[in-house]
Every structure is written in structure tokens, then in C-alpha cells.
């Protein structure tokens, strides 16, 4: 007999509506659907000389096209009656209304040049059909595969207002199969509790339908591959654009390499038109959520920088494409051999604006990375590996390799050396004549003694900045929407907070959180009603090779305080390794520094204060300056 069947739970667990797997994708279900189903299609590729093809089509089907619809409708009513929870009752009431309508929206996702789901005619575990239909926590995918029919297979259910999906396949052995799965809730059947998951097919054993004469010919399939039918599809208005953009963002590498083509209704995504589709759906839409246009340009540009290791750490080949441009997001797309982007890597300590694509191609590196991906396939987590220490070391090695390559192109991008309007308000009049200490002065002053580049005759410092930015500014010039906090080079600390950064192409960082607290630095103010605070600040890179910076700031009054210097990253900041600090153009000598980036205590004067800094690394980076009262 063929119909819906919800097995009894034998007085076991009661299953409610809040399925953890489905809830994972509820935030952006349509975009998640595209990512998850295409990943599985790529894993099942048949002919490597041809691209895997995936097609999305939206139907509105009459009731006659939905097998077992009356039985499903009765089950939905039983689910509603069994539960006295408002959310559950509301869901099943709406599900019942959808089925009662004359037509039901159904999204069909089909793939071609794939193996199909093998094993539908076998009553045994650990084949693709079993993993998809009945498996939970089961994986038997080959090395390098992107997914494992784990939590990702729940993404279609998050797109269904009746939590019901039909699967149809023809595998490489010629076996055809059809089966439905409904992820509902426990309810009563013959006065006994059921499981929440039910199956449409041969009731005896909950097996698939193998004889297609017993179902509507609409589902018949002559070509090897798999179809997924999502009943009660819940995003009928905006689905096309969401899926197109999700596919471009996550699979641009696979499409570019002619490993994948996707048709979404009447829109085709292929290697031939990828550039045009990126321009139309990503670049011209100017949506900061997506970086595919930057990544794609870094991949194909003649001006890009290409790096590779043929056998990285003994695990096979890795590649990296980098391109520097002023509007780029300082991100690298982390891509595995499947061609799917796993995540966007940020946190690069460089003022250079760039985008890049990292591709893990070797068998060993792919197998390693697959093991440390969570079910959502959106990060790498070493603790998931059986040897977490090894995994942490390996991930760090990958990141270090990428960081080294980014630094190498950063060093090649010589900054424009220009006289920027308004800089005089921050710098002393004769800064350009300020000599670097020679060897004799170093011994006398006890500074710069370990840098052989410094042991030479005095020379003038060149101020490094960019022609596109201004180092002057006022509070009115601060752009709160700037990635680095301000576009005018001047950071305002808000009412109580510090500010200021220099990153080679924008400066300033606004803060309005009232300043930080620190048990070592932040004692009670000496003037209760007028605490010492920073009015404005800036940091200039004087010489990148020598790691020399000038911190210029104005406080609201005289006092004694500390400066805290941090290297600013994309989303976080780290303590700057300060080797030396001294008053600029003063015989007061050096100021006490700590390895944690803290300078002081020292006397802070009315008006402009200028402190010369030297890092223990010869780099140019974004520095943030915070002021604390002693």
C-alpha cells in the first residue's frame, strides 16, 4: 500500500515543531536552500568534463498532482488538535489553509550530470538514498565532498509552509525512486503517539515507490539525477533574486571554472555570462552583504597576484589570488575544491584595500578542512578534529601563509608621498627636518639600538599618506559610516571616549561608549568634575621600514595620563608592540612603555601633544590611540 505513514514512537520521545536542523535555516531559508542543495549536487557530479547542471522552477500545482494530499491534510489536522501551543496551532492552521487552496506553490530543484541517489532499491544503511531520506548523523561521502546529508538536508523544509518535501531520482544504475518526507510533530494515530517525521511511499518498511505507474507522470524522470519538490514553498515573491545572488556569492568559483551551471526560472548562470550576472545582481545593486564582484575581479584580473604551494604541509595544492583596489573589503573568500565559498576571512592588519580568493585543491587539505567544518559549512573549527591541537596548528599555518602573501603585496604598494592640506595643525612646523638619531645619539639616548638600518647618518623622515584622504579634520568631517570610523583622518572620542587611527588611506575612529575601564590604568580622576579626555587625535606613519609613527593629540586640559596604542584590525584590535616612545622635539627624554602597548604615565599639556613611537616591527599599520587619566 502507498500512502503517508508516521511511525509510532512506542512511548518514546515527543517531537515538537522546533526542529533544531530546520531552525538553523529559518533566518534566510531561500538563500540557504540554494547553498545546500547545490553543494550536494556538486558532490554527486558524474562527468568531470562537463558542468553539473541545477535548475530551479516554481510551479502552482492542482491537488491531483500532489500524491497522498488528503492523507497529509488529515495528519495536519491531527497535529493541530494534539498540541495546545499557540505557535504550533498557528502553523498547522496556516498549513491546512494552504492545502485547502486550489493550487499549491511547489519549488522544484533538479540536477543533471549527477549520479542520482544510489541505493533506493536496497534496504540497507549507508547509501545516498538512505542518508538523505532516513539518516540522522550519518555520513558516507567521499574525500573532498562538501556536505554529508547532515543538517543541510533540512534546508528545504525551512522553505516549506507545510514542512513537506518529495524526492525523485534516477541513479547511474537505472533505478528510479520516489518518496516523500514530512517533518511535522508528534500526534495521535489510533490513540497512540507517533513520531514527528512521516514518509510517503510503501507503508510496509517506509520504502520508496519504485513503480512510477503508481504516481502522477509529472514526477517521472528519464535522465540520471535527482529532483526535490518543496510543497507549500514560502517565498514566492522574491525567490528568484535571492537564489541568484546566493548562488553567485557562494559558487562564483565553481561557475567560473565551468564546474557548474544554474538556471533559475528563465535566468541562466554560466561561465559565459558570469561577469554580466555579477554586474547585474551584485555590483550594480551595491549591497554590502555580498563581495562576489570583488572576489571575481581578483580571480580574473590581469593585475592580480597569484600564489601557490604544490604540496602545502604535505596535504596537496593550495592557491591564492589577490587584487588591491581602494574600494575592496580586506576579505579573502575561502573556497574548497567543490567550488563553494565556505566563509569570508577578514582581520587583516594592513591599510591595503584588497580582495582575494583562496582555493584548497589538494585531496589531503580538502579532507582536513571538511573535518573541521560545522554542519552549516560556514567556518573552520579545529576542535571538531580528532586531534584538535594539530588542526589548530594547521589552520594557523593556512592563515599565516595567506597573511604573508597579503603583506607581500602590501609592501609593493608604495604610498603616495604628498603634502596634505591641514596637516600642520597636527605636526610641528619643522617636522620634515626632524633627523633620525644616528649611532652616536642612539648610544647616548639608549634608543633604536637594535635596528641596523638606523645606524647611519641622520636623514629626513618622509611622511607616508595617501592622496585620496585628508589628515586634517574636525568633528564635522567625521563619517560615521566609514569602515575605519572616519574619513577625515581625525577621530573624535565622543563624550568620554578616545579616538584616532591611521591606516594609510583613512584616519580617525569615533567612539561614544564613554571610554574603557582598566584595573591597571583607570584610577579615579584627579579632577572629579572635569576628567581628562581626548578632544581629537591622529597617528601618522613617518617611516614604514623603521616602524616610526607620530601620535598627535589634544586633551581637554593638562594632567597626567597614559596612552594605549592598538593595532586596528577589520573587526577587532590588538595591542601594539611598542619598542620606544619619547616626546617629540623635547629634552624630556623617553617615556615608559610596556609590551602591552601602554605608554606612560607622562605629563599632558594644553594644546597639541606629539609623541614619537617606534614599533618593534618594520610595518605600516592602522593604529588606534586611547587616552586614560593616571
| pLDDT, tens digit (0-9, with 9 covering 90-100), for 195-229 | 999 999 999 999 999 999 999 999 999 999 999 99
Least confident interval from 18-27, 84-93, 254-263, 493-502: 493-502
Domain CATH for 228: 3.30.565
- Quick one: pLDDT band at residue 537, thresholds 50, 70, 90? confident
| 579 and 437 assigned to the same domain | yes
- Dist CA 436 CA 518 (whole Å): 34
Q: Percent of the chain having pLDDT more than 90?
A: 53
Least confident interval from 91-95, 98-102, 124-128, 495-499: 495-499
Helices (H), 413-549: 439-445
| Mean predicted confidence (pLDDT) in 535-563 | 86
pLDDT at 511 over 60: no
Question: Which of helix, strand or coil describes residue 234?
Answer: coil
Find, among 189, 114, 73, the residue nearest to 132 by Cα: 114
**How many residues comprise the chain?**
630
> pTM of the full predicted structure?
0.68
Q: Judge whether 268 lies within some domain.
A: no
| 482 and 562 assigned to the same domain | yes
| 169 and 287 assigned to the same domain | no
Q: Please give the distance of CA 408 from its chain centroid, rounded to a whole number.
A: 24
pLDDT at 64 over 80: yes
pLDDT value for 456? 36
Find, among 63, 108, 116, the residue nearest to 229 by Cα: 108
| 286 and 393 assigned to the same domain | yes
| 84 and 144 assigned to the same domain | yes
| 404 and 449 assigned to the same domain | no
pLDDT value for 579? 87
Q: Domains in the chain: how many in total?
A: 3
Question: Which of helix, strand or coil describes residue 397?
Answer: helix
Question: Which of helix, strand or coil describes residue 220?
Answer: coil
Q: Judge whether 302 lies within some domain.
A: yes
Q: Judge whether 488 lies within some domain.
A: yes
pLDDT value for 243? 96
Q: Which residues make beta-bridge pairs with 114? A: 45
pLDDT value for 286? 60
What is the domain range of residue 371?
274-412
Amino acid at each position: 500500500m502507498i500512502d503517508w505513514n508516521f511511525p509510532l514512537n512506542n512511548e518514546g520521545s515527543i517531537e515538537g515543531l522546533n526542529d533544531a536542523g530546520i531552525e538553523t535555516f529559518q533566518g534566510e531559508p531561500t538563500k540557504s536552500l540554494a547553498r545546500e542543495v547545490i553543494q550536494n549536487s556538486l558532490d554527486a557530479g558524474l562527468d568531470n568534463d562537463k558542468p553539473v547542471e541545477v535548475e530551479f522552477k516554481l510551479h502552482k500545482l492542482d491537488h491531483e498532482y500532489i500524491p497522498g494530499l488528503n492523507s497529509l491534510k488529515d495528519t495536519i489536522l491531527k497535529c493541530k488538535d494534539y498540541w495546545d501551543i499557540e505557535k504550533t496551532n498557528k502553523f498547522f492552521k496556516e498549513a491546512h489553509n494552504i492545502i485547502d487552496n486550489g493550487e499549491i506553490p511547489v519549488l522544484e530543484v533538479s540536477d543533471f550530470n549527477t549520479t542520482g541517489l544510489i541505493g533506493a532499491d536496497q534496504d540497507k544503511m549507508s547509501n545516498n538514498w538512505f542518508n538523505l531520506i532516513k539518516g540522522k548523523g550519518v555520513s558516507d561521502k567521499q574525500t573532498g565532498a562538501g556536505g554529508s546529508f547532515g543538517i543541510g538536508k533540512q534546508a528545504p523544509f525551512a522553505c516549506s509552509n507545510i514542512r513537506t518535501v518529495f524526492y525523485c531520482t534516477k541513479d547511474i544504475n537505472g533505478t528510479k525512486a520516489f518518496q516523500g518526507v514530512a517533518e511535522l510533530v508528534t500526534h495521535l494515530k489510533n490513540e497512540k503517539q507517533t513520531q514527528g517525521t512521516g514518509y510517503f511511499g510503501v507503508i510496509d518498511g517506509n520504502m520508496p515507490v519504485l513503480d512510477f505507474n503508481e504516481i502522477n507522470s509529472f514526477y517521472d524522470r528519464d535522465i540520471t539525477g535527482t529532483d526535490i519538490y518543496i510543497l507549500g514553498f514560502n517565498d514566492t515573491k522574491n525567490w528568484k533574486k535571492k537564489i541568484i545572488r546566493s548562488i553567485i556569492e557562494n559558487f562564483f568559483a565553481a561557475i567560473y571554472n565551468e564546474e557548474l551551471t544554474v538556471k533559475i526560472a528563465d535566468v541562466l548562470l554560466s561561465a559565459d555570462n558570469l561577469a554580466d550576472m555579477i554586474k547585474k545582481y551584485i555590483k550594480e545593486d551595491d549591497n554590502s552583504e555580498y563581495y562576489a564582484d570583488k572576489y571575481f575581479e581578483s580571480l580574473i584580473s590581469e593585475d592580480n597576484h597569484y600564489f601557490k604551494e604544490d604540496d602545502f604541509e604535505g596535504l596537496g595544492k593550495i592557491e591564492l589570488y589577490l587584487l588591491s583596489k581602494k574600494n575592496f573589503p580586506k576579505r579573502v573568500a575561502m573556497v574548497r575544491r567543490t567550488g563553494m565559498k565556505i566563509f569570508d576571512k577578514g582581520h587583516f592588519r594592513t591599510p591595503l584595500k584588497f580582495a582575494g580568493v583562496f582555493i584548497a585543491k589538494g585531496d589531503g587539505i580538502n579532507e582536513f578542512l571538511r573535518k573541521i567544518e560545522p554542519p552549516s559549512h560556514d567556518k573552520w573549527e579545529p576542535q571538531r578534529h580528532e586531534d584538535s591541537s594539530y588542526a589548530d596548528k594547521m589552520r594557523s599555518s593556512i592563515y599565516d601563509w595567506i597573511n604573508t602573501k597579503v603583506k607581500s603585496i602590501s609592501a609593493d604598494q608604495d604610498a603616495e608621498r604628498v603634502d596634505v592640506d591641514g596637516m600642520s595643525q597636527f605636526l610641528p612646523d619643522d617636522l620634515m627636518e626632524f633627523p633620525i638619531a644616528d649611532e652616536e645619539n642612539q648610544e647616548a639616548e639608549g634608543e633604536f639600538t637594535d635596528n641596523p638600518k638606523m645606524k647611519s647618518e641622520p636623514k629626513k623622515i618622509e611622511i607616508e599618506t595617501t592622496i585620496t584622504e585628508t589628515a586634517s579634520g574636525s568633528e564635522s568631517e567625521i563619517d560615521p559610516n566609514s569602515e575605519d570610523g572616519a574619513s577625515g583622518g581625525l577621530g573624535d572620542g565622543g563624550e568620554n571616549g578616545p579616538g584616532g587611527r591611521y591606516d594609510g588611506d583613512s584616519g580617525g575612529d569615533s567612539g561614544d561608549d564613554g571610554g574603557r575601564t582598566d584595573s591597571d590604568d583607570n584610577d579615579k580622576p584627579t579632577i572629579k568634575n572635569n576628567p581628562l579626555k581626548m578632544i581629537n587625535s591622529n597617528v601618522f606613519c613617518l617611516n614604514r621600514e623603521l616602524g616610526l609613527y607620530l601620535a598627535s593629540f589634544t586633551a581637554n586640559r593638562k594632567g597626567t595620563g597614559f596612552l594605549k596604542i592598538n593595532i586596528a584590525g577589520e573587526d577587532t584590535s590588538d595591542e601594539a608592540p611598542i619598542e620606544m616612545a619619547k616626546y617629540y622635539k623635547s629634552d624630556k627624554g623617553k617615556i615608559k612603555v610596556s609590551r602591552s602597548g601602554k605608554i606612560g604615565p607622562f605629563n599632558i599639556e594644553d594644546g597639541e601633544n606629539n609623541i614619537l613611537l617606534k614599533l618593534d616591527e618594520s610595518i605600516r599599520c592602522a593604529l588606534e590611540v586611547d587616552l586614560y587619566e593616571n
